[in-house]
Chains A and B, each alone.
Chain A
Amino acid sequence: EVQLLESGGGLVQPGGSLRLSCAASGFTFSIYAMSWVRQAPGKGLEWVSAISDSGGSAYYADSVEGRFTISRDNSKNTLYLQMNSLRAEDAAEYYCARGLATVDYWGQGTLVTVSS
C-alpha cells in the first residue's frame, strides 16, 4: 500500500523558514518523480514544486521560485521542501504527492501557518 506521510508543518513568522518532510513507503520511491501541492484554507489546489526520480531536475511554480527548494533522499525514501522567506500567502495545507505529469497518490497533508 502506497503511503506518504508529511511532517514539519507549524506556525512560523513572516520571513521565517520551515522544512517539510515526506516519508514514502509501499512503492519503489527512487523511480518516481515527486511533487508538493498546497491548498490555502477554503481555496483550490496549487502545484508548488516537483523533482525528478534521481533528484537531478527540480521544477517550481513562479510563486515560490527562489524561495523554496525541493530535494529528496532516495536512501531514506524521503522528500523534502525547504521553505524560506515565508509570506502570509504561503499559509496552506501542504501535500506530498507521487508523480508529476500524473499525480496519483497523495499524503494527508501538513499545515503551515504564517503569522506574527
Chain B
Amino acid sequence: QSALTQPASVSGSLGQSITISCTGTSRDVGGYNYVSWYQQHPGKAPKLMIHEVSERPSGVSNRFSGSKSGNTASLTVSGLQAEDEADYYCSSYTSSSTLVFGGGTKLTVL
C-alpha cells in the first residue's frame, strides 16, 4: 500500500495554468478509472474536485480538469485564482479493494 507519488509543491501566477501529476502502478492508477482529486484548505475537510479520472462533481468549476495516461494521472487548474491556493491530493482504488492517496501537493498562487 505505497502512497501515490505527487510533487510536493507547484506554483503559478494568477490566470495561468498548472498541472499536478500523480503516479502509481498498474495495481492502482493504471488499472482502474477510479482516480479522484481533492482540494483541502487549511483547517478544512477535503473537497472532491474530480472523480473517475475526469468527471467534475456538480458545482466544481470547469477550470479544474483531470486526465490519465498509463500509471500517471494529472490534474490541471486553468485560469488560476487566489482561492485555488490549497493542498491537492489524488487517490486511486486498488486491486486490493483499498484506497490509496498521494502524498499531497501544495499549490501556491503567485
Q: Which residues of A contact B (CB under 8 A)?
A: 35, 37, 44-47, 50, 57, 59-62, 95, 100-109
Contacts and interface: CB of A to CB of B under 8 A. Distances in A.
Contacts of A46: 101
25 contacts: A44-B102, A44-B103, A45-B40, A45-B89, A45-B101, A45-B104, A47-B91, A50-B99, A59-B96, A60-B98, A95-B45, A101-B32, A101-B93, A102-B36, A102-B93, A103-B48, A103-B99, A104-B48, A104-B57, A105-B48, A106-B45, A106-B46, A107-B45, A108-B45, A109-B45
Contact of B97 (A37, A45, A59, A102): A59
Interface residues of B, number: 26
B11 to A, nearest CB: 19
Interface of B: 1, 3, 32, 34, 36, 38, 40, 45-48, 51-52, 57, 89, 91, 93, 96-104
